[in-house]
Structure formats: C-alpha cells, structure tokens
Structure 1
C-alpha cells in the first residue's frame, strides 16, 4: 500500500535513530532499486525569514524521474566522499553531505544562514520516494538575492509561499512544506 509520512523530529533523536540502525555506503544502482536500502537525503528548503517567499526551481539534472516538476528542496545523496575519516559519526557525514550539496547546487550563498532540522519525510507513492528518506532542513534568510543558483537549478526563483500549491510540485516538496507548516 502506497503511503506518505512527514514526522517532526528533534535532530538528536533522528541522528541517534540512524546511528543505532547503522549505516553503510552501498552501490547506488542497487540502492535505487531495493527499498531495503533507504538512502538518507538532506533536503533543504530556502525561505525568507518572514516565510513569505520560498525558493523553487524546475527539476532537470540527473534524476530523470523528477523532470518537469517544481521543487522547493535542494539536496541529494550523501556518499563516501562526505566521510573524511572512517570514525566519523552519521551526524558528521550527513552535515558534510548537506554542505557539499549546497555548495554544488548554489554558486553563492551566505555562510551565516544556517540550516535548521525540522524532521523527516518518506513516501512509497513514487519510485524515487520508496528508496529515499528525506532529512528536511530549512534555511531562513533576510537576503534571498544572495542565493545564486548553479546550472542544475533550472528557472530558480523566489515565489510567494502561498502560491506554491498552484505549481506542479514534486511530492517531496509538498510533504516538506506540510512538515514545515506543522512546526
């Protein structure tokens, strides 16, 4: 049965659960087909401090299953290069992966706008969702113009948050926005 879930959660509780469950890096082609391997994806929502505007972009890039859908989330797979030492904790790997993803997707962004963890999202409605677990973060900014998109963030723009439902959004973006609205 296909389902969706959005769960507000404390960051330390999330990290603790992931650490207890154990983590390892497996071949991505295998992980993309086997729901037994849940790939944790840092998923960052950019909004103005007054929550009036949210950054969105049209999906293109390497994940063809999401093409032509609008997204409010920036993020991607954490991978072995995000682990500088074998002794690093899951939290260190996740945070390193999130920082790398932001640097890859945005050619410029303020270093003092820090991500805050909100909870997790998961869905089994889409082929993409059934093999990924979203760790949702939000960055609030006073200076949206200081965020400069890289080439994968096609048609990047700041839209009125209350206009998001009129866009053809990917499911994860809808779940993440619902989660943020709960907090």
Structure 2
C-alpha cells in the first residue's frame, strides 16, 4: 500500500482552532486554557486518506511527536535520512519520534487513541516495547502554520524517560540517532521547524 493510501486521523481546522480563536504557532502546553480547549476537540477526529490531506489546509493531520530523555538527562536527536517517507524533511535533525495516527477501533477514549499510536511509533522506529513506554507523558501541542508541511499537521507532544540501551534504530535507512546534552544545542538551523520551536520553548 502506498503511504498516500494510509487512512489517518484528522480534525477540521475550524473545529480544532474554534474558527481561529485558539490558533497558535510554536509550542503550547497542555496546562493552559487554550491547550485544554484544543485537546477537547480531538475526539471529533475524522478518518481520511493521507494523500487527500497532504495539501488540504482545511484539515490538520494529527501527528504523535515524542521527546525521549535518558536517565542522564540527555535527549535523543536523530537525523532524517533520504529513505524516510516525508521528502520535505530529509536532511534535517529532529528531537521528536512519531508519525501519523490511525483510528483505533474499540478505543475507549481519545486518550487511548493518542497513546496507542504514540506507542506504536516508538516501537516501530526505535524498538521500545509497550511495556517500556508506560511512563509516556502528554505535555502539549506543536503547530507551525508558516510553511506548507506545518500548515497541514498538528503535533501531539509526549515526553518519556528511557534507558538508552533500550533504544535502537529499526529503520536504519530513515534515521540515525545520538544522545546529546540539551544545553549543548546552540544552533537550531539544522533542525526541522517543530524541533527548533520545542528546543526554544524548553530552554
């Protein structure tokens, strides 16, 4: 199956941002009122063909985006190689492991849909089993309407502390990973937009 035929979860922009009243750019914490209101809309997601959504800014595709930290306080940074699915992001570094979300038949809540999708991506991309992702923590959203990739995606942001030795790249043609001290990253130019925005917010 082509990646464009994948059925993914999306939310109409008008619902998500309440006719732009809750629109934002950058990182938005789950603690604030605006973050809470946006989260409440996620349960109204629809399932659409990915190829139809890639250039349709009237919908936001939900993307799980998980930051990994090890017990020494280092964060996981990876480089997107040319084998990856999103050609517009090749050659850029990232601090978020994740991807598009799919419908979860029988899920009891939107929380379960989000968690299962995030856990699946962690297992597929870096080999973390479900048992090792139980401390997954939802921390907010990331949005950037200033470019064509960001305009059609909304990042649902998670954070997790892991043991470095449990992390291994499964998709060696798409990712190359390293652990770095967060404070040592001074230049965000090589990072994809979402990662740069998060690094700025977390400094």
Shift of 1:69: 0.3
| Residue 146 (1) aligns with residue 166 (2) | yes
| Residue 101 (1) aligns with residue 101 (2) | no
Deviation digits for residues 103-149 of structure 1 (CA, Å, limit 9, x no counterpart)? 110124561562111111100122111111111111123x2122112
Could you tell me which runs of 5 or more consecutive residues in structure 2 were left unpaired when the two chains were aligned: 1-23
Question: Residue 64 of structure 2 aligns with which residue?
Answer: 42
Count of residue pairs the alignment pairs up = 172
TM-score by length of 1: 0.82
TM-score by length of 2: 0.75
Conserved? CA contact 2:142–2:157, under 8 Å: yes
Shift of 1:49: 4.0
Q: How much is the aligned-residue C-alpha RMSD, in angstroms?
A: 2.4
Q: Give 4+ residue runs of structure 1 displaced > 4 Å after superposition.
A: none
Shift of 1:64: 0.5
**Partner SS, residue 139 of structure 2:** strand
Question: Residue 92 of structure 1 aligns with which residue?
Answer: 112
**Partner SS, residue 174 of structure 1:** helix
Could you tell me which runs of 5 or more consecutive residues in structure 1 were left unpaired when the two chains were aligned: none
